[in-house]
Amino acid sequence: MLNAKRHCAAVFLFAAVLFCSKITSAENYVAFEGEKTSWHGFDRYDFAMDDASFEITPSKAPAKGQRRCIVVVPKTPAPGNPWSWRGCYWDHEPQTEVELLRRGFHICYIGADANNRPDKHWDAWYAYLTEKHGLSKKPAFIGMSRGGEFSYTWATQNPDKVTCIYADNSGGNREMMMKLGDLAKNDVPILHVCGSIDPILGKFSLPIEAIYQQFNGRISTMIKDGFGHHPHSLRDPTPIADFIEHSFQEAANKDTIAHPDFTGDRFTKSPYYSSESFYRDYREKDGAWIICRGPLFVDCYTRYEFDLPGVKGTIRILAPKTAAAGVPWVYRADFVARDSVVDFALLAKGFHIVTGPVSYDTNNLSLEHWNAVYKHLTDHGFSKKPVMAGTGGAAGEAYGWALENPDKVSCIFAENPILKSTLLKNNPFDFAPLAKAGVPILHDCGSLDPFFNEFTLNAEKKYKELGGKMTVMVKAGAGHFPSAPKDLNAVLEFIVGNAK
């Protein structure tokens, strides 16, 4: 974690980078020339690109063999000269672009249709805007219907030259969908706005969302309930413009954020967020109820993955935005699913969530390696007594480490546990060490879970006979899944109250 000095240094560095970016952008910017017209109160410049030579010249009426290009200029360019790029349907539902102009964005367009798809003309337009006129090297894409497909086509071919994508009832194609991982690798945030009965929703928007999440990409979705393919966009474009503006600001700051000390110098990081959907009332401004999900509507956390010398298996850590006092953490053997309400609630309260190492060449977890991870993290300021947690068989592994290290555990939380462990030197479980150490335990179980009687009820009886404190929460009529707790607040009170 950042100490106070490093935090101050990071803030100073960001301020310096921002100051320098303002100077650089002002020096590199070259004003556009040619006949001006007005577009929604802003200066508009029209150009023609020659199909053969790619030469771009001022022209209000492109001739045969030329492609139409347009730039609309803000009153005062924002730092870094950000811009949005549209490749189809000029002036259709332009409210987002008008709002971006008010915020200092340039608005750019190149003619495209079913016969003029992204190709070298798009590359030439990008070079003209960035190299000759000093606009940002990473534009934001705005694409509606086929325009969304074209935005994805160019962006997946140039994933390091994109700030973000706003795709509205977007089309798609097999080739660009196969390259979505490249966008995710470059951490390009995406926003989809769709109609719930638009046939394209199930054909492209939802598959793109699912694929992008699997690649650990950030994608937010707004589905207008009962709406079809039209109208595109939102009447009030504020959420869309906020998404685009924030993406530019975030990209400018990205390289100035220091990584935590516990990762070492070799690590990977990716965004992690809940898949929970919200039903939001937008009727006053947009006449719609909208289903909203993704990092635009929930907190987005960072997942770090790294290795330790001599430890087989990767360590994965979900980091909170700000660590709670004492740096509490959860130690577990299973991954955190996007619907894990307990883990996301704990992240919001400042807990780190740690998935211990699992090697590829054995079916057994290594107690030695798990102990090494514990030492590494506690040496870097993590609490000496983590919370042990898990679901199903992974809960058994959490118990296993706790039984081998009873004095290093604050509490245990298990969901529908299977009490068997490869971390234990001896099976079956002997709960005496945990009871002696005074470790409190909470189980959340379905009454129809096949392991409920065998493990939870027997464990409860034995633990209480040993003088230990164990609570069992039962969901009547529920089986092994879903694993969401019956009472989230009760679970949080248990974990937070016992974490040390």
In the chain, what are the domain boundaries?
23-257, 296-498
The predicted pLDDT at position 3 comes to 39
Distance of CA 180 to CAs 38, 184, 187, 189, 294, Å? 37, 6, 11, 11, 17
List own/partner pairs for 213-217 with CB under 8 A and 24 or more apart. 213/275, 213/338, 215/180, 215/181, 215/184, 215/185, 216/184, 216/270, 216/271, 216/272, 216/303, 217/180, 217/183, 217/184, 217/187, 217/188, 217/189, 217/190, 217/271
The answer to whether 204 and 152 are in contact (CB under 8 A) is no
pLDDT per residue as tens digits for the range 152-163? 999 999 999 999
Burial label, 75 (beta-carbon count in 10 A; 0-12, 13-18, 19+): exposed
CATH number, domain 296-498, options 1.10.3080.10, 3.40.50.1820, 1.10.357.140, 3.40.50.720: 3.40.50.1820
Helix then strand then coil, in percent of the chain rounded to 5, is 35, 25, 40
Q: pLDDT value at position 26?
A: 52
Amino acid letter, residue 450: P
Number of Cβ atoms within 10 Å of the Cβ of 27: 8
pLDDT in tens, the chain (500 residues): 333 333 333 333 333 444 344 434 456 899 999 899 999 999 999 999 999 999 999 998 899 999 999 999 999 999 999 999 999 999 999 999 999 999 999 999 999 888 889 999 999 999 999 999 999 999 999 999 999 999 999 999 999 999 999 999 999 999 999 999 999 999 999 999 999 999 999 999 999 999 999 999 999 999 999 999 999 999 999 999 999 999 999 998 887 778 899 999 999 999 999 999 999 999 999 999 999 999 999 999 999 999 999 999 999 999 999 999 999 999 999 999 999 999 999 999 999 999 999 888 766 799 999 999 999 999 999 999 999 999 999 999 999 999 999 999 999 999 999 999 999 877 789 999 999 999 999 999 999 999 999 999 999 999 999 999 999 999 999 999 888 898 999 999 999 999 98
pLDDT on residue 113: 84
User: Which are the contacts of 102, defined by CB distance < 8 A and separation ≥ 6?
Assistant: 74
Would you call the peptide bond into 231 cis, given omega within 30 degrees of 0 as the criterion? yes
User: In sequence order, which residues have a C-beta less than 8 Å from that of residue 400 and are 6 or more positions away?
Assistant: 365, 367, 421, 422, 423, 424
- How many residues in total does the chain contain? 500
Block residue for tokens 């991954």: 335
For the entire predicted model, the pTM comes to: 0.90
Q: CA–CA separation, 4 vs 424, rounded Å? A: 40
- Residue 1's Cα: distance from chain center in Å? 21
pLDDT digits (tens, 9 = 90+) for 89-140: 999 999 999 999 999 999 999 998 888 899 999 999 999 999 999 999 999 9
Assigned CATH topology for domain 23-257? Rossmann fold (3.40.50)
Nearest to 78 by CA among 143, 135, 39: 135
Query: What is the C-alpha to C-alpha distance for residues 204 and 207, in angstroms, rounded to an integer?
Result: 5
**Token pair in block for residue 85:** 């790029």
pLDDT at 362: 66
